[in-house]
A and B are shown apart, each in its own frame.
Chain A
């Protein structure tokens, strides 16, 4: 039973990892330490120096889990429209470029001072210049500061670092003894330099062009199948495919998927893609952090505690000082520059990649490499603590310096004011009215053809099932000033309303109802504004019919409005009686009699519809005639 054995082993491993995460992450969160530190501690706990539940395969797990970083970059790309990215070019090149060059130079210089050969000093400089995209972004997002000035600056630097990895990997072999026997060379490495460049350019162009022109029809075709899991599969396929492609031409997978994300940021399927990839990213990233924790070589730490401690401390201090300086040069306020420095002062996951590559190409002796990697891993472990310290003890001192939670206008996501779920014959009119009145709306619908039509007319529309909380979140319902539920399907309406009420009780809800019964159910659920989909137009037409029958146009219109007002009241009143059939029917009868009387005002002697009466009242005429007769 090899299958069962293999399966058992895999399941066993999965069990260990999941248990570690499920136990330690909530505890860490409760203690205010953040999930990243929770995962890292879980990794230490199950690693070879803790309970030894995982051993050698930890490295494999880390390779696998690095894919979480790739997915994260894809998601970040999806949030960044090309125009937005272009606006960020100055901080990316300026802050990012300066940080990498200065740190690299400083580390290499110190290395030389300690008597390392120049090539080794340079390799270590490259390894340590990079920070941890995974830890920093995850932590910032958890703290809700990813859109702040500090968050934006940190992101710019991390983006530059991700780009910088490519040339670093390229020069690594030149610094060591070129090794040809480290496995088969990539086919692309056998090409001459110019051809290599062409292929890389071609692949990048392919992603851009494919994303712009091919993705849309393909996603539309898949969406038409109306199978959610297939769409999820397609989203994963896209990310995996691009990662493989980038690997094949020797580029960073993270950078490739980031590029793909940016290209797809304008796509109507963006929110659905985000919602689909997000949970995988979260789990894989968690796994990655656990693997980092498990990989920390505590034996090395125990053998040379002072050296390692010195390295970690030196590394973090140096990076902090450089980052702080850059922050100040780029006009960050003092507390912002401190936060900026604290968040990026660690070594990053790319150091592991560069490290193993450098050792392979003999650019770095194995023991030196191991030492650097332990220092990097420990600095990653310390980062959440440093940020916590910054948040609790440093930032409060400057509380008065920062007026409000600052959002940089460049990257503040342009969330629309209104979100409309469901775009059919009903939603279209609603949207047009909003647009004509100067309000922006984001539309969510499961019909790809509708979305396409909307896009053609220049509207913002996304494909996706609005009953999914992730999708609502991504469409910005939380920040919306109005959430309109205008889907046709009754059950779907209830589902969306339930989600919206649970997650966004503060956002005003406006709901389309199919008929009286559904409207009443919605009122019972707590919806304040419910409109029956055919009531308005039926009354409009009815008023036209009345006019055609000789009723003065304004009177006909008024009757329709009165009817509507009465219906609205009756609906609310009857909603409270539902379940009690007897009372319900009795009240309904009473109310419809009332309506009849109300509408019969023309013949009625008592002025129920006061508007019709004004001064032409029989009784008034009689009174006047009486007075005249007497006078």
Chain B
């Protein structure tokens, strides 16, 4: 986590503390509700920032690599090789992904660039953010 993100989070925590103090002494329910909404927004901002920070941490800890199509083809999920697939330039590890039994998914084999297949089938679904990133397709 870099320092400025950490500082921003600390500031926002302090601001939340302030809102809570104000809520204790709120004169009417309308003021109270308004302050609660502000507090809720602050907490979302903190959540977003920590997510970002964790993501960066995750990436830096991984062994990220650049793979060409030819190199990607080796990662077919068989005989000891992990199962990788590429979508939109990012390479994901699906070796233990439940939907990829026998390193295949609805007739698609691992070790390939499946950008267009993904778009035609899962376009609009938030699947990629849950997959394990291992690198970039070059």
Q: Do A and B come from one complex?
A: no
